[in-house]
Amino acid sequence: MTIQTGTLSLSRENVSAYLHAGDVIHIWLKALIAETEASVSVTVKDVELARVASARSEEFEFQHIVVSDGGKVVLSYDPSTTAVSVIYSFDPGRVLEEGIRVLHCMAANAPPQLQSGYHFRPPFGWMNDPNGFGRFGGKAHLFYQHYPHSMRWNTMHWGHAVSQDYLHWTHLPIFLFPAAELSMRDDGRGGAFSGSAIPDGDDEIRVFFTEQVRDRKPEEQIQLSATSADQISAGNPSIALPARPEGLGLTLDFRDPYVFKGPDGLWKMLLGSRDRSGGVILLYETSDHDAAGGWTFVGVVHREDRFGMTAAECPSILPLGDVASDETRWALIFGLLTSRDPATGRRNMSSVTVGRFDGREFQPEFEQELDFGSDAYAFQAFVDHDGPVGLAWLANWTDVSKSVDFPTAMTLPRRVLLDGSAILTPPLEAVDGLRHKLLDETSLLGGKTVEFVDGTAEILLDLTQAGAPFELSLDHPEISLGVRLDEEGLEILFDARTGKPSPRYLAAGAKPAQVRIFIDTGSIEVFADNGRWVGTKRIPSFAAVRSATMKTGTGGVAAARVWQIKL
């Protein structure tokens, strides 16, 4: 991923960089002392270009500055009266290729300093759900839930990045801001919650998102839409859906619009909600060519009440073949908020249900769990040129603390494939290109320890027969970690060593013939039999996995290869 830093020097009160005429600076500042104004002076070649100020003392205020003349730009402020959260600059004409240059951020929102890493992370601040994942203007765009000013959830913005291959990302300016009244305080009352994006003409993007305002009457959550002509900033939003459908006994949960083209050629919208029985997924449609308005409620397209879940969250649906064909199956994917599997203790699981969809009714045929590790939440996907591709937030809400920083990442990009009566979600083919160096193809198989170079690795195990047992131990300085296949199934072995029992991350009954394991700083992802069973687990530490050792049954593993992984 790309984070350009330019030529800068940072002193106690000054941030400086060499910029060009027409470059844009984004800055967030706030007053540290009540009734005392915060200010930042911006000078170019020792001539003051602007002085931005804020009287706020609760939340940072955003300022947009255009550099009138190229040269050394200095931003200076008094740290006893003024706090500056983020400063970045960019060339508006080149930002889609070059990205932003982060000039300053605080310790509270600074990204982790990792020696390496190949998963998507934001350039600063908090991140959760992927949003608006799609291809626009020839590039893959990823939007995401974002709070710029700390590593903890708060008032929601949309972050933004683009890529050619879903692996190497270029960070762009913050795309979508919360409503003005929500931006005034850091009390987490709401903001621009999750949603999706569709093309709007040749080069424009139309986004749909939930606006959350806690305690707003009668609706805390409504659906908004906005367009972007330049692909880097959203215009003023308009209301797409002002209220929940009546007569269904729904709770205030009414969120996460996913807009897609149905088999009848009309734009459709899925929304997650909840009634007294459990989670429901709502379906809307419009005959408007641009999906700009005219949305009407079709009905409840799916219900789910397993595992004590409350709301269905972040729904998406994908055609697994020709959209117009009556024979095409569709994959309906969503999160089961607050669900708990009594057999394993896992929480907030995600489900995929496959069936037929005619544009108005969904007829389920089979379902399976999306990820047995349960740390691939809010999965969002779309149909790209060569088929469906998606990714998820590499975390789980049960691990989030209101008092502890929680840096996170996105999963590896994954395919969504139909194989008979099973859904496969293998890593995208481009992931093969991350293999930097073959570290071993004999020692691990022989029971010896294989040292990792920098904590990143791919391990590929070919078994002599489906379900042949093995146990892979991964040496981590702070947790117990490994992968095991036995008569119970395929399992990620995880113990945070807190003294409290950990859930079991188990794909019960799985008997794969091949297991592919990706290790990064802060995560492990397991793909078995081309994604038939997938397990994702966040590691709550930035300490690196140091090595791997494997025990096998007699002749159970035919080949074991280990690569160093690198972007």
pLDDT, one tens digit per residue, over 11-23 is 458 999 999 999 9
pLDDT per residue over 163-183, tens digit each?
999 999 999 999 999 999 999
Complete DSSP assignment for 74-100: EEE--TTTEEEEEEEEE-TTTHHHH--
- Residue 126's pLDDT is 98
Does 1 score more than 70 pLDDT? no
Percentage of the chain beyond pLDDT 70 is 98
Does 438 score more than 60 pLDDT? yes
> To the nearest 5 percent, what fractions of the chain are helix, strand and coil?
5, 50, 45
The token duo for 459 is: 């391990």
Identity at 158, one-letter amino acid code = W
- Residue 530's pLDDT is 98
pLDDT per residue over 113-122, tens digit each?
888 899 999 9
- Helix, strand, or coil (residue 307): helix
CA 290 to chain CA mean position, Å: 26
- Residue 201's pLDDT is 82
Longest Cα–Cα distance of the chain, Å, equals 76
Task: Determine the average pLDDT of the residues in 206-216.
Answer: 97
Going by pLDDT thresholds of 50, 70 and 90, the confidence category of residue 8 is: very low
- Residue 327's pLDDT is 93
Nearest C-alpha neighbor of 96 from the set 65, 139, 51: 139
Buried/exposed code over 408-430 (b: 16+ C-beta within 10 A; e: otherwise): bbbbbbbbbbbeeeebbbbbbeb
- Residue 350's pLDDT is 97
CA 525 to chain CA mean position, Å: 15
- Residue 35's pLDDT is 84
Task: Determine the average pLDDT of the residues in 500-505.
Answer: 93
Complete DSSP assignment for 406-436: ----BPPPEE-EEETTEEE-PBPGGGGGGEE
The residues facing 75 across adjacent strands are 15, 42
Does 397 score more than 50 pLDDT? yes
Mean pLDDT of the residues in the chain: 95
* Beta strand 533-538 pairing with 547-552: unpaired
Q: pTM value?
A: 0.95
Q: Rg for the chain (alpha carbons), in Å?
A: 24
The residues facing 340 across adjacent strands are 347
- Residue 12's pLDDT is 52
- Residue 544's pLDDT is 94
Does 489 score more than 60 pLDDT? yes
Residue 12, C-beta contacts closer than 8 angstroms, at least 6 positions apart: 79
Does 4 score more than 70 pLDDT? no
Q: How far apart are CA 313 and CA 311, in angstroms?
A: 6
Q: How far apart are CA 467 and CA 542, in angstroms?
A: 32
What the chain holds in terms of domains, given with CATH numbers, is: 13-90 (2.60.120.260), 126-424 (2.115.10.20), 431-565 (2.60.120.560)
Going by pLDDT thresholds of 50, 70 and 90, the confidence category of residue 554 is: confident
Does 74 score more than 80 pLDDT? yes
pLDDT per residue over 442-458, tens digit each?
999 999 999 999 999 99
- Tokens 């984070």 sit on residue: 3
Sheet holding 157-163, edge to edge: 126-136, 139-147, 157-163, 169-171
CA 124 to chain CA mean position, Å: 14
Sheet holding 350-357, edge to edge: 312-319, 330-336, 350-357, 362-369
Nearest C-alpha neighbor of 370 from the set 485, 525, 509, 532: 532
CA distances from 151 to 4, 87, 124, 297, 383 (A): 21, 17, 8, 38, 32
Going by pLDDT thresholds of 50, 70 and 90, the confidence category of residue 2 is: very low
Going by pLDDT thresholds of 50, 70 and 90, the confidence category of residue 553 is: confident
Neighbours of 75 (CB within 10 A): 25
Task: Determine the average pLDDT of the residues in 146-169.
Answer: 97
Neighbours of 66 (CB within 10 A): 12
Does 478 score more than 50 pLDDT? yes
Q: How far apart are CA 51 and CA 43, in angstroms?
A: 9
The token duo for 185 is: 């305080």
Q: How far apart are CA 480 and CA 500, in angstroms?
A: 13
pLDDT per residue over 268-327, tens digit each?
999 999 999 999 999 999 999 999 999 999 999 999 999 999 999 999 999 999 998 999
Identity at 147, one-letter amino acid code = Y
Q: How far apart are CA 376 and CA 371, in angstroms?
A: 7
